[in-house]
């Protein structure tokens, strides 16, 4: 809910947005209501179906895609995106490396909500190498560092 509230306050006006691990899709619906062109993704078919139903109930269009972060070719083919969103995806150690690998390939900016899970700490430590991170927990805003000139 925190990520949905944060994204709802931003005018997206046609920005391409991808949500990773969409679950019920609340951030995706909020991004679509804010004017974004949204692709909601999850590894679970039930989640993308729930997100599509929630978008329809809220009168917005959200595309969906069932994809595994370890085999992201179908997702990468739909990019690049302006913004990546993810809420509570750092609940297992196995998600840290794939997310670190995938995010820079998707968008120059990412907003991640995390309720303080133990697996988040290694993610933030590693992410600081490539991203400028601004945190207002539980929402963390990441922006790709520019390469030195």
- Residue 149 inside a domain? The answer is no
- Residue 114 inside a domain? The answer is yes
Hey, is 72 helix, strand or coil?
Answer: coil
- Residue 125 inside a domain? The answer is yes
Dump pLDDT digits (tens) for 15-72.
999 999 999 999 999 999 999 999 999 999 999 999 999 999 999 999 999 999 999 9
123 lies in which domain range?
A: 2-144
Residue 147 DSSP one-character state: P
Dump pLDDT digits (tens) for 106-143.
999 999 999 999 889 999 999 999 999 999 999 999 99
pLDDT class for 149, splitting at 50, 70, 90? very low
Give the pLDDT mean for 66-85: 97
Residue 40: count of CB within 10 angstroms of its CB = 30
d(CA 90, CA 14): 28
Tokens coding 34: 């804010």
CATH code of the domain containing 129: 3.40.50.150
- Residue 10 inside a domain? The answer is yes
- Residue 32 inside a domain? The answer is yes
């Amino acid at each position: 809910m925190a990520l949905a509230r944060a994204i709802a306050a931003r005018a997206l006006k046609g920005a391409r947005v991808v949500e990773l691990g969409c679950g019920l899709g609340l951030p995706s619906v909020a991004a679509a209501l804010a004017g974004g062109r949204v692709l909601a993704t999850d590894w679970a078919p039930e989640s993308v179906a729930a997100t599509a139903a929630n978008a329809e109930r809220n009168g917005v269009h959200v595309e969906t895609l069932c994809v595994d972060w370890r085999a992201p070719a179908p997702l990468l083919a739909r990019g690049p995106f302006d913004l990546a969103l993810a809420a509570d995806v750092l609940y297992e150690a196995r998600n840290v490396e794939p997310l670190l690998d995938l995010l820079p390939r998707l968008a120059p900016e990412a907003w991640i909500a995390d309720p303080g899970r133990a697996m988040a700490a290694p993610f933030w430590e590693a992410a600081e190498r490539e991203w400028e991170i601004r945190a207002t927990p539980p929402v963390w805003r990441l922006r790709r560092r520019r390469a030195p000139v």
